Structure 1
């Protein structure tokens, strides 16, 4: 029976508590809070007795969640998961919590705290007794890394308090035992003609910019001058640097020209590999002036002008990334072979499925894969909910190509990573085979020959 609820942005902590409490723990990714506390609370599947809020939640989010859960589930116990810093008193005053738990607390201390709070909730009549289990920690462990906050005004009574009169007339929410929930699987999607390709990743540093650049390069081989690459990593996009281009204009100007095809053409920068680039805004603060709806209008307009529109997005699921995915026919989702990144990608997929924003064509890229890291490629599928489509090995050739200002697939087509990236290009356009005339290694223009 599900007994506890965890709302957190830490994939590592979520994985740890899932392993510790198994079927008794349901989790709600903190990313749902992007769409409001009510939306997050509505996603809770079963009635929890205790909610753990954190780590990595703000005071405002924790306060709103505590109030929302208390309204939806009267009597619920609230544990805030955070370090006990000097501002703890502010949290105690503003959040209706019952205990504070350090994210570094041992498994035994974590189990002990929840067992003690659970016992108080049962004896005070706030919750029903849990089903018998065999994996609860030692209740005598006082857990030195945790502290109970003095919000439990009344001490636990020796006998359970009588339930409210109305409770006897209403059926218990947990009276029936529900079957075990199946493993989450990413739903199948139907194929459509590729036009707009959004390259996305839940975290930064996954290699999506490299993939976006090489995808545009490969597609331009079969559709020269009919591919445009948009750097929509609004604050710190670096496609212009990777391609050794001088960015005299950027996405902010292109969005302003979204209604005029002639003006749009004046904002494009042509690359020598026969594709066009719209760089990121020239200054991070310009990101704030780019309206997501206007960016969506620009994407739609470019899709009528070019055969392929490739978009490098901002990590995560901000407004602009959601806009790009909403207008995309294809989504290329990039992750590394780490538990945190794989769990984050799964969370991203769950949100996109819920919002109905998963593109019709989906491609999962497992990037920078190397041996002896504790995980193998086969471990990715059960975490993500779908098998990776392209496996890209870690290679120094990626950095060498970026430093040379040349796309990887043209800098060294024999590099293992370049070959893997080429398979991604061919998933979009099977005719994109390498040709000798496209292979060119060169120095950056400002370096001595």
Structure 2
């Protein structure tokens, strides 16, 4: 018998309970609720004695599960896993529950609740004490199941040891470093008037450089709702995207964390929509709220925007502290940037902390940096020379500043990073060691 049942949409909470209960836990993911509570019940093995519902289940889903469990498994103990909120009293009044448990409750508190409820179920005759014992370990060979009861070397076989051997590796759960008191968080938007200016490359390397001074406290948001390609540039395979990050279910902190993808260089990524048509599901206001929420958890938030000044980009500019404007060494690009500046001044959105980057500079382009400044009507802060190393690093899915620290383009990009975080000096020995590690992967 498997005494505990969890119905939840939170992979992080599932991982926690598996670590606590091991083989005594049966899990049905909340996605099956799309087909109704009966579809969930059809996937339940045996007769659960204690069922945990949540986190990230709404009232209607929980109500349906409570009724279905009571009908199929009379006497089952029911625990709702949910944060304390204003409407919690309504849940308690309208649902026949035995307990409410916060998903952030400590392991000790969680186990203590399980012990109290299981003892009560036994005392009231709704369960037997042996129902909560560890199930016998089994070996599975194709379509047959063989129970292990043999002894080895005169010592009795411990099913708990076998369970530890066959247990799936735990899901890696990242904890965000606490923000230091008195240090303001910063959000940086990377903006370009047209596509193909190197905006995404700069955003990726900016996040990488900032992560050197604030490990795991940097998040890179791909807010290009048309053709965001940060995932491709970093060689990531995210399970969640910005669609999930701004969804109603992401109000739950555990679910929100699962929408982030961790990169090995010490920063997180919110991936863009998988296709342009899905971008309509992410409103400009939702992007603004996402940036504000991320600033509450991360030291630096870097936002790669859709080219031009669409609604998503304009709202992004209202929620950031710095803007990095990127243009290439072409007259159309420079004139488009000048037009952007004029529009932003008209709208009152010209940022105070402005960094103008001229990308892919080339002495053979026919114009100089001074010519570019005259066209856009503003001073260039950083010019990044054209370099084949940029394309090579991108094709390998490695940030340039960690791929070739001596490359002139990498040095120029590093200076952009240092405009945001002056302490982000290159640590050459560490970077070169990381580069060699990447080469062996």
Is the alpha carbon distance of 1:330 and 1:217 closer, same or farther for their aligned partners in structure 2, counting shifts above 3 Å?
same
Is 2:385 the partner of 1:393?
yes
| Paired position in structure 1 for 2:422 | 430
Q: How far apart in 2 are the matches of 1:346 and 1:194?
A: 29
Structure 1, unpaired ranges of 5+: 1-191
| Paired position in structure 1 for 2:305 | 313
| Paired position in structure 1 for 2:348 | 356
Q: How far apart in 2 are the matches of 1:270 and 1:349?
A: 34
Give the secondary-structure state (helix, strand or coil) at the position aligned to 1:441.
helix
Contact 1:405 1:443 in 2 (8 A): no
| Paired position in structure 1 for 2:147 | none
Q: 1:441 aligns with which of 427, 435, 438?
A: 435
Q: How far apart in 2 are the matches of 1:246 and 1:340?
A: 35
Is 2:269 the partner of 1:288?
no
Aligned residues: 256
Is 2:228 the partner of 1:234?
no
Higher Cα radius of gyration:
2
Q: How far apart in 2 are the matches of 1:399 and 1:384?
A: 27
Give the deviation of 1:260 after TM superposition.
Answer: 3.8
Give CA deviations for 1:114-141 in whole Å, capped at 9, x if unaligned: xxxxxxxxxxxxxxxxxxxxxxxxxxxx
Contact 1:230 1:278 in 2 (8 A): yes
| Paired position in structure 2 for 1:248 | 239
Contact 1:236 1:284 in 2 (8 A): yes
Within 5 Å, which residues of 2 pair with 1:259-298?
Answer: 259-298=251-290
| Paired position in structure 1 for 2:336 | 344
Give CA deviations for 1:415-436 in whole Å, capped at 9, x if unaligned: 0000000000000001101112
| Paired position in structure 1 for 2:50 | none
Is 2:287 the partner of 1:302?
no
Give the deviation of 1:193 after TM superposition.
Answer: 5.9
Contact 1:404 1:443 in 2 (8 A): no
Is the alpha carbon distance of 1:230 and 1:438 closer, same or farther for their aligned partners in structure 2, counting shifts above 3 Å?
same
Q: How far apart in 1 are the matches of 2:185 and 2:282?
A: 26
Is the alpha carbon distance of 1:385 and 1:417 closer, same or farther for their aligned partners in structure 2, counting shifts above 3 Å?
same
Give the deviation of 1:263 after TM superposition.
Answer: 2.5
Give the deviation of 1:306 after TM superposition.
Answer: 0.4
Give the secondary-structure state (helix, strand or coil) at the position aligned to 1:276.
strand
Contact 1:201 1:208 in 2 (8 A): yes
| Paired position in structure 1 for 2:198 | 207
Give the secondary-structure state (helix, strand or coil) at the position aligned to 1:368.
strand
Give the secondary-structure state (helix, strand or coil) at the position aligned to 1:332.
strand
Give the secondary-structure state (helix, strand or coil) at the position aligned to 1:237.
coil
Question: Aligned-pair RMSD on alpha carbons?
Answer: 1.9
Contact 2:240 2:258 in 1 (8 A): no
Q: How far apart in 2 are the matches of 1:356 and 1:265?
A: 34
Q: What stretches of structure 1 move > 4 A for 4+ residues in a row? A: 442-445
Is the alpha carbon distance of 1:402 and 1:438 closer, same or farther for their aligned partners in structure 2, counting shifts above 3 Å?
same
Q: How far apart in 2 are the matches of 1:241 and 1:442?
A: 21
Give the deviation of 1:441 after TM superposition.
Answer: 2.9
| Paired position in structure 1 for 2:19 | none
Structure 2, unpaired ranges of 5+: 1-182
Give the deviation of 1:237 after TM superposition.
Answer: 0.7
Give the secondary-structure state (helix, strand or coil) at the position aligned to 1:419.
helix
Contact 2:186 2:301 in 1 (8 A): yes
Is the alpha carbon distance of 1:194 and 1:355 closer, same or farther for their aligned partners in structure 2, counting shifts above 3 Å?
farther
Q: How far apart in 2 are the matches of 1:258 and 1:340?
A: 41
Normalising by structure 1, we get a TM-score of 0.55
Normalising by structure 2, we get a TM-score of 0.56
Contact 2:188 2:323 in 1 (8 A): yes
Q: How far apart in 2 are the matches of 1:194 and 1:266?
A: 22
Q: How far apart in 1 are the matches of 2:262 and 2:396?
A: 18
Is 2:321 the partner of 1:329?
yes
| Paired position in structure 2 for 1:195 | 186
